[in-house]
Amino acid sequence: MTGREPRTELDARYSSQGASATPWPDALRQLRAAELFWISTVRPDGRPHVTPLPAVWLDGALHFATGPEERKARNLAANPEVVLTTGTNLWDKGHDLVVEGTAARVTDEDRLRALAAAWEEKYGSFWHYEVRDGCFHHGAGHAYVFEVAPRTVFGFGKGEPFSQTRWRFER
């Protein structure tokens, strides 16, 4: 993904009078700092699957890891469309973000090493990964790494003024 700024729009239908769109740099800071995301995937039979996970923002995309036999990895093999969300669980304070995109597996080992370093920098030494065979390795297990370059991001400002911002990314 390029470092180009997305097109930013305030949806006045879901925003308080006088609200303004959240600037993309503010949302980007939140994506970089968030420790927990919720990923939504679709099972092969069409039922949704949602689970929490850590993720890192690097070079214009969110990245997450999952074991190859985990439900989300099996879902992604059939349908790579995902939604990642983060924010607060309060209705009148904070800011929630919803990132829509396509998950693409990362296998380049130089890229994986950069991502492993980003994980450890953000989350600490518990999240130390070795890289080999196109995967993260941690203890006895290994994980696939996926990149989600946003297609659309929604931001929900909560509390007065309430706001709904949409950022669209050119492909």
Question: Domain holding 14: CATH number?
Answer: 2.30.110.10
> Comparing 4-8, 102-106, 158-162, 164-168, which segment has the lowest mean pLDDT?
4-8
Is 128 inside a domain boundary? Answer: no
Task: Give whole-number Cα distances, 82 to 19, 78, 122, 143, in Å.
Answer: 29, 12, 23, 18
Is 81 inside a domain boundary? Answer: yes
Within 8 A by CB and 6+ apart from 43, the residues are 49, 71, 75, 78
The per-residue pLDDT for range 147-158, each reduced to its tens digit, is 999 999 999 999
Average pLDDT over residues 114-124: 97
Is 129 inside a domain boundary? Answer: no
The per-residue pLDDT for range 43-94, each reduced to its tens digit, is 999 999 999 999 999 999 999 999 999 999 999 999 999 999 999 999 999 9
Give the pairing of strands 37-42 and 81-86.
Answer: antiparallel
pLDDT on residue 1 = 40
Is 83 inside a domain boundary? Answer: yes
Residue 146 has a CB neighbour count (10 Å cut-off) of: 23
Sign of CA dihedral 29, 30, 34, 40: negative
Phi and psi torsions of 71, nearest 5°: -55, -45
Q: Which domain holds residue 50?
A: 7-106+142-168
Is 37 inside a domain boundary? Answer: yes
Mean pLDDT of the chain: 95
Q: Whole-model pTM?
A: 0.94
Is 120 inside a domain boundary? Answer: no
> What's the domain count of the chain?
1
Is 47 inside a domain boundary? Answer: yes
pLDDT on residue 3 = 60
Residue 31 in this model has a pLDDT that exceeds 50: yes
Task: Judge whether 120 and 129 are in contact, CB under 8 Å.
Answer: yes
Average pLDDT over residues 8-28: 96
Is 1 inside a domain boundary? Answer: no
